[in-house]
Amino acid sequence: MQPTTKTEALRRMKSIAGHVRGIERMLEEDTYCIDVIKQIQAVEAALSKVSGLLLEGHLHSCVITAVRGEDLGERERVLTEITNVFAASNKA
């Protein structure tokens, strides 16, 4: 993982963790359900951004290295990983 990607992902995750704690407080305080749902949706969107950031970094490093490499098995393994990640995300 590139250092800038790691730094950005960690920064975003710390922010998300703060939002999740805020949602927990909202639930404890019996905040209006729709307001809690909106915050949950914001956290889901933020997590999706982190996932996209990591995927982009992976595609530009590990996948490109494998595709350009000589090892056919490694190429297939990396492509299968990517396919599995997308298949799993479509099940959710």
pLDDT tens profile 18-71: 999 999 999 999 999 999 999 999 999 999 999 999 999 998 888 888 889 989
Residue 80, pLDDT > 80, answer: yes
The residue count of the chain comes to 92
CA distance 69 to 24: 47
Tokens of 4: 């800038």
Topology, domain 3-91: Methane Monooxygenase Hydroxylase; Chain G, domain 1 (1.20.58)
pTM of the model: 0.82
Residue pair 36/44 in contact (Cβ under 8 Å)? The answer is: no
Confidence (pLDDT) at 92:
61
**How do the domains of the chain map onto residue ranges?**
3-91
CA distance 92 to 72: 31
